[in-house]
C-alpha cells in the first residue's frame, strides 16, 4: 500500500444531496450532518453553494467554523460566486474553492451560449482568481462524460496551469458506462501534460444505477478523489453512495487493489441512519450496506448456511459497517448514564440540555411501557432535530368524524403569547385540522406529501408523521410524534409551518 493509493473523499451530501427535491435542511440540521461526516472521516465536506442562497452562505460559514476537516464551497466560473464562496469559507481550517463549468457541446451551446475558446478563457481567468483567494482550488468539468475528450485535456491543462490542485470530471447526467468511464479517466490522465501536478477526481450521478460502478472504474484507472453522498441522495436519481463505494473498496480488495481512505466503516450505518432521519428520506429496506434487509436472511437454506458459516451468505459482517443488534435494552429503571451510553452507540452525542430534554421524554414514555426499543429512542431524540422555533405552538385540538359525514376539527395555537382558535370541516379529521391550522396562520398551504410510521408496536404505539407542505414554490418538511395519530399529524403540519415562517416564508410569499 503506497500513499499514491490513498483515495480522497469529498462528501457532497450537504450540497448535491441537499438538491434532492423536497429536502430543505435548516442550519442546525446541516451542522449536525457536518459533525457526523467529520466523525465518519471524510476528507472534505462540500457544505453548499454560497452564491445561490443566503441559507447556503450561512451554512458554509457555520460549518467552516465547526469542523477541522476540509470544507469546500461550490461556485460557477463567475467572479461574484467566487468572492462570495471565499468569504463564506474564511473561518475554515482547510478551505477549498470548487469551481465548475460545463464542457459538453450541448451545455456550451444551449446553456452557456459560449464557444469552446470562450469557456477555455473563462476557466483560466476564474481559476486564477480563485487561486489568489484560496490556496486549495478544485476545478470540475460539468457533463464531462458527454464532452470531447481532447477538449477536456485542454481544459484540465488550463485549470492546472492557473492553480487548480484537484481536477474533477462529472458524469452529471449519469450517462457513462463503467468501462467507457474508466477509459476516459485513463485517456485524460495520459494526455493532459501537467496532470502530475494535480489530483484527479470524479463525480458520478446514478441515472442508470451505475454511479458506484463508474466511480470504482475511475479509481482503477487512476482517479484518487471521489465525490459521494450518504445514502446516494442527490439530484434526480442521486449521486454515488459513499457507503457502497467504500465497502466495495474494502470487500473487493482482491479484485480492485488495496486503496486506502480515511472513512471509519464502523460509523457507516449510524451516519446513514442519521442522514435519513434528518432529511426525512428513508433508506430503502433493500439498499446495499445500510438497508434494513442488507444483513437479514429469510429463506431456510440461507439461514442454515449462515448457522454453519456466516460467510456462506454474507460477504461482510454487520459489525464492519456498525450495524447494531436491534435489542430492547432500556426500560423505566434505566438511568441517565445508560440512556446516554445507548445514544452514543447510535451516533447521537447530545449537549447537556438536549440530553436532559430527551431523558425527560424517555422517562415519560418508560412509565407507560416495559421496554423502549431503539426505534423509539431514535424518535424521542430526533424529535429535537425537527424542532424549529415555536412560532406557532399547538395548544389544543378536538375533532369529530363519523362515516358518511364530513369531519370537523377545531384547533388552538399559541402565537406571540395569544391563543388563536379556528374550526374547519374536511374530508377527514386530518384534512379538517389542516384547514383549521391554515385559517389561523393565513395564506395557502398545500399538503404535498403525508407519511405515517408506527415507531413502536402495541396499542399505545408512537406514530411519527412526516409531511411536506408547499408554500409558494418551496416545500417544507414537518414531523410530529404522538401516540395519537391525529395529534402527530397536526404537530407535523404546524412544524412545517414553523419551518417556513422561520425562513421568512410566512404571510408574504417570497
Ligand atoms: O453533477 C455535477 O456536474 C455537479 C458539478 C457541480 C460538480 O454537481
Ligand atoms: Zn452533481
Closest listed residue to residue 275, CA positions, set 253, 290, 256: 290
Stretch 473-483: mean pLDDT, rounded? 80
Cell numbers linked to 93: 481550517
Q: What are 105-143's pLDDT values in tens digits?
A: 999 999 999 999 999 999 999 999 999 999 999 999 999
Q: Please state the atom number of ligand 1 nearest to the C-alpha of residue 235.
A: 1
Residue 242 phi/psi, 5-degree rounding, is: -55, -50
Pocket of ligand 1 (CB under 6 A): 16, 74, 100, 140, 142, 170, 172, 203, 205
Cell numbers linked to 206: 446514478
Contact 72, 295 (CB under 8 A): no
Mind spelling out the 3-state secondary structure of 149-184?
Answer: HHHHHHHHHHHHHCCCCEEEEEECCCCCCHHHHHHH
> Grid coordinates 460477504 are at which residue?
315
Residue 283, C-beta contacts closer than 8 angstroms, at least 6 positions apart: 231, 272, 273, 276, 290, 291, 292
pTM value? 0.76
Q: Please state the atom number of ligand 1 nearest to the C-alpha of residue 144.
A: 3
What's the CATH code, domain 8-263? 3.20.20.70
Q: How confident is the model at residue 367 (pLDDT cuts 50, 70, 90)?
A: confident
Q: Please state the atom number of ligand 1 nearest to the C-alpha of residue 173.
A: 1
Return d(Cα 225, Cα 261) in angstroms, integer.
10
Instruction: Give Cα 354 to chain centroid, integer Å.
Output: 22
Residue 320, C-beta contacts closer than 8 angstroms, at least 6 positions apart: 247, 250, 265, 266
Cell numbers linked to 242: 459513499
Distance 91 CA to ligand 2 centre (A): 25
Residues in the chain: 510
Cell numbers linked to 191: 494526455
Instruction: Tell me the sheet residues that pair with 426.
Output: 407
Distance 75 CA to ligand 1 centre (A): 10
Contact 233, 212 (CB under 8 A): no
Stretch 192-220: mean pLDDT, rounded? 98
Contact 191, 153 (CB under 8 A): yes
Which ligand has the minimum distance to the alpha carbon of residue 73? 1
Distance 204 CA to ligand 1 centre (A): 8
Distance 83 CA to ligand 1 centre (A): 20
Domain with CATH 3.20.20.70 in the chain: 8-263
Residue 11, C-beta contacts closer than 8 angstroms, at least 6 positions apart: 37, 40, 42, 44, 45, 46, 227, 228, 229, 230, 242
Distance 15 CA to ligand 1 centre (A): 10
Q: If you take atom 6 of ligand 1, which residue's CA is the nearest one?
A: 100
Q: How confident is the model at residue 328 (pLDDT cuts 50, 70, 90)?
A: very low
Q: What is the pLDDT of residue 510?
A: 31
Q: What are 332-353's pLDDT values in tens digits?
A: 778 888 788 778 767 677 888 8
Q: Strand runs (DSSP E) across 351-417, as ranges?
A: 371-372, 393-400, 407-415
Cell numbers linked to 309: 458459516
Contact 110, 118 (CB under 8 A): no
Q: CA distances (Å), 122 to each of 127, 166, 168, in order?
A: 8, 17, 17
Return d(Cα 504, Cα 510) in angstroms, integer.
8
Domain with CATH 3.30.160.270 in the chain: 393-503
Cell numbers linked to 246: 467504500
Q: Please state the atom number of ligand 1 nearest to the C-alpha of residue 140.
A: 7
Give kind and range of the element (H or E) at residue 477.
strand 474-482
Residue 151, C-beta contacts closer than 8 angstroms, at least 6 positions apart: 103, 116
Return d(Cα 189, Cα 6) in angstroms, integer.
17
Return d(Cα 325, Cα 340) in angstroms, integer.
17
Instruction: Look at residue 504 and tell me whether its pLDDT is greater than 90.
Output: no
Tell me what percent of the residues of the chain surpass a pLDDT of 90. 64
Q: Tell me the pairing of strands 407-415 and 166-171.
A: unpaired
Is 3.30.2020.10 the CATH classification of the domain at 393-503?
no
Return d(Cα 476, Cα 468) in angstroms, integer.
5
Return d(Cα 107, Cα 114) in angstroms, integer.
9
Instruction: Look at residue 403 and tell me whether its pLDDT is greater than 90.
Output: no
Distance 104 CA to ligand 1 centre (A): 13
Give kind and range of the element (H or E) at residue 225.
strand 225-228
Pocket test for ligand 1, best of 203, 223, 225, 227 (most atoms within 8 A of CB): 203
Q: If you take atom 5 of ligand 1, which residue's CA is the nearest one?
A: 142
> Grid coordinates 502530475 are at which residue?
196
Distance 62 CA to ligand 2 centre (A): 23
- Which of 202-211, 215-224, 318-327 is the least confident region? 318-327
Residue 24, C-beta contacts closer than 8 angstroms, at least 6 positions apart: 18, 474, 475, 476, 477, 499
Return d(Cα 294, Cα 285) in angstroms, integer.
7
Distance 172 CA to ligand 2 centre (A): 6
Q: What are 149-185's pLDDT values in tens digits?
A: 999 999 999 999 999 999 999 999 999 999 999 999 9
Q: CA distances (Å), 48 to each of 73, 90, 398, 428, in order?
A: 5, 14, 43, 41
Higher pLDDT, 311 or 232: 232
| End-to-end Cα spacing for the chain | 54
Q: If you take atom 2 of ligand 1, which residue's CA is the nearest one?
A: 172
Distance 183 CA to ligand 2 centre (A): 21
Q: What is the pLDDT of residue 413?
A: 92
Return the SS3 of 25: coil
Stretch 351-366: mean pLDDT, rounded? 83
Instruction: Work out the mean pLDDT of the chain and round it to a whole number.
Output: 90
Instruction: Tell me the sheet residues that pair with 215.
Output: none
Pocket test for ligand 1, best of 142, 211, 236 (most atoms within 8 A of CB): 142
Instruction: Look at residue 363 and tell me whether its pLDDT is greater than 90.
Output: no
Which ligand has the minimum distance to the alpha carbon of residue 229? 2
Instruction: Tell me the sheet residues that pair with 176.
Output: none
Q: CA distances (Å), 112 to each of 88, 124, 158, 269, in order?
A: 26, 16, 19, 41
Which ligand has the minimum distance to the alpha carbon of residue 228? 2
Instruction: Give Cα 173 to chain centroid, integer Å.
Output: 19
Pocket test for ligand 1, best of 12, 14, 20, 74 (most atoms within 8 A of CB): 74
Amino acid at each position: 500500500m503506497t500513499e499514491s493509493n490513498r483515495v480522497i473523499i469529498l462528501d457532497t451530501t450537504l450540497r448535491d444531496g441537499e438538491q434532492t427535491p423536497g429536502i430543505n435542511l435548516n442550519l442546525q440540521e446541516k451542522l449536525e450532518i457536518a459533525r457526523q461526516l467529520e466523525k465518519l472521516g471524510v476528507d472534505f465536506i462540500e457544505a453548499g453553494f454560497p452564491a445561490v442562497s443566503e441559507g447556503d452562505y450561512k451554512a458554509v460559514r457555520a460549518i467552516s467554523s465547526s469542523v477541522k476537516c476540509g470544507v469546500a464551497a461550490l461556485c460557477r466560473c463567475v467572479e461574484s460566486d467566487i468572492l462570495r464562496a471565499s468569504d463564506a469559507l474564511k473561518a475554515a481550517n482547510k478551505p477549498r474553492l470548487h469551481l465548475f463549468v460545463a464542457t459538453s457541446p450541448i451545455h456550451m451551446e444551449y446553456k452557456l451560449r459560449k464557444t469552446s475558446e470562450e469557456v477555455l478563457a473563462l476557466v483560466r481567468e476564474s481559476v486564477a482568481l480563485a487561486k489568489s483567494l484560496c490556496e486549495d482550488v478544485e476545478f470540475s468539468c460539468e457533463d464531462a462524460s458527454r464532452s470531447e475528450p481532447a477538449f477536456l485535456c485542454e481544459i484540465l491543462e488550463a485549470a492546472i496551469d492557473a492553480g487548480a490542485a484537484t481536477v474533477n470530471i462529472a458524469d452529471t447526467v449519469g450517462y457513462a458506462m463503467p468501462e467507457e468511464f474508466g477509459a476516459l479517466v485513463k485517456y485524460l490522465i495520459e494526455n493532459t501534460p501537467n496532470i502530475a501536478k494535480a489530483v484527479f477526481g470524479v463525480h458520478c450521478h446514478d441515472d442508470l444505477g451505475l454511479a458506484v460502478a463508474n466511480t470504482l472504474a475511475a479509481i482503477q484507472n487512476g482517479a484518487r478523489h471521489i465525490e459521494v453522498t450518504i445514502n446516494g441522495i442527490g439530484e434526480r436519481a442521486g449521486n454515488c453512495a459513499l457507503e457502497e463505494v467504500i465497502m466495495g473498496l474494502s470487500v473487493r480488495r482482491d479484485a480492485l487493489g488495496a486503496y486506502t481512505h480515511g472513512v471509519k466503516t464502523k460509523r457507516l450505518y449510524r451516519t446513514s441512519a442519521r442522514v435519513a432521519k434528518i432529511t426525512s428520506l428513508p433508506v430503502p429496506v433493500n439498499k446495499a450496506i445500510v438497508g434494513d434487509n442488507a444483513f437479514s436472511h429469510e429463506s431456510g437454506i440461507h439461514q442454515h448456511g449462515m448457522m454453519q458459516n456466516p460467510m456462506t451468505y454474507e460477504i461482510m459482517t454487520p459489525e464492519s459497517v456498525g450495524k447494531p443488534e436491534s435489542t430492547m435494552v432500556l426500560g423505566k429503571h434505566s438511568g441517565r448514564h445508560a440512556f446516554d451510553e445507548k445514544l452514543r452507540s447510535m451516533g447521537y452525542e447530545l449537549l447537556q440540555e438536549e440530553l436532559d430534554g430527551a431523558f425527560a421524554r424517555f422517562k415519560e414514555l418508560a412509565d407507560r411501557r416495559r421496554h423502549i426499543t431503539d426505534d423509539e429512542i431514535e424518535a424521542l431524540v430526533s424529535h429535537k432535530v425537527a424542532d424549529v422555533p415555536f412560532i406557532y405552538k399547538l395548544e389544543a385540538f378536538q375533532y369529530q368524524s363519523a362515516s358518511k359525514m364530513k369531519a370537523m376539527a377545531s384547533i388552538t395555537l399559541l402565537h406571540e403569547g395569544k391563543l388563536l382558535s379556528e374550526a374547519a370541516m374536511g374530508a377527514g379529521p386530518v384534512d379538517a385540522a389542516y384547514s383549521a391550522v391554515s385559517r389561523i396562520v393565513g395564506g395557502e398551504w398545500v399538503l404535498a406529501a403525508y407519511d405515517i410510521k408506527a415507531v413502536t408496536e402495541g396499542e399505545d404505539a408512537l406514530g411519527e408523521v412526516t409531511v411536506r407542505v408547499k408554500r409558494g414554490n418551496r416545500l417544507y418538511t414537518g414531523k410530529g410524534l404522538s401516540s395519537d395519530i391525529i395529534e402527530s399529524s397536526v404537530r407535523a403540519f404546524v412544524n412545517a409551518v414553523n419551518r417556513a415562517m422561520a425562513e421568512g416564508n410566512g404571510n408574504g410569499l417570497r
